[in-house]
Amino acid sequence: MSEPIHSTPRQPVRMCATCEVITDQPVLIRSIEQGSGPGWSLYACADCAPTYLTTAEAFQLLMDHVGVCRICMETDQPTEACTTARTLIRVHRSCYRNDAQGPVSPKA
Ligand SMILES: [Zn+2]
Ligand SMILES: [Zn+2]
């Protein structure tokens, strides 16, 4: 028997700007815009992204994703179905935790 040929879609892999690990779940941490021509984007892995982002920015990334992602739109459980959403939620949670360790005390 011959094996069927799979055409696996390639994950958009990026290198983390901090630890230089190649990740298939890159988180956009910064868009650099140039006056002329296209700018470029800086990505980080899920572990490093919280050091770049505020809680609000991480939440915005999650919302931006959910707004354009078919998988997330079609499910009530994006954390189960969509790995990107899962990554962004994890990043958001880490940011939130970083905030909580600061002078702002968590809700009593
Ligand atoms: Zn990293
Ligand atoms: Zn999604």
Tens-place pLDDT, residues 50-61: 999 999 999 999
Asked whether residue 39 is domain-assigned, the answer is yes
For the chain, the domain total comes to 1
Q: Report how far residue 67's alpha carbon sits from residue 19's, in angstroms, rounded to the nearest whole number.
A: 29
SS3 47: coil
Cα(16) to centroid(ligand 2), Å: 20
In a domain, 74, yes or no: yes
Alpha-helical segments (H) within the chain: 49-52, 55-68, 70-73, 78-81, 83-100
pLDDT per residue as tens digits for the range 59-84: 999 999 999 999 999 988 767 789 99
What tens digit of pLDDT does each residue of 8-34 get?
Answer: 556 679 999 999 999 999 999 988 887
Q: Which domain holds residue 86?
A: 14-100
Asked whether residue 32 is domain-assigned, the answer is yes
Which DSSP letter does residue 76 get?
S
Gap from CA of 74 to ligand 2 centroid (Å): 9
In a domain, 93, yes or no: yes
CA count, 13 A, side-chain hemisphere, 84: 19
Predicted TM-score (pTM) of the model is 0.74
Q: Residue 58: inside a domain, yes or no?
A: yes
Whether 2 maps to a domain, the answer reads: no
**Residue 59, domain member (yes or no):** yes
Query: Is 64 within 8 Å of 77 (Cβ atoms)?
Result: no
- For ligand 1, the distance from its centroid to the CA atom of residue 73, given in whole angstroms, is 28
More confident position, 76 or 92? 92
Side chain identity at 37, as an amino acid letter?
G
In a domain, 66, yes or no: yes
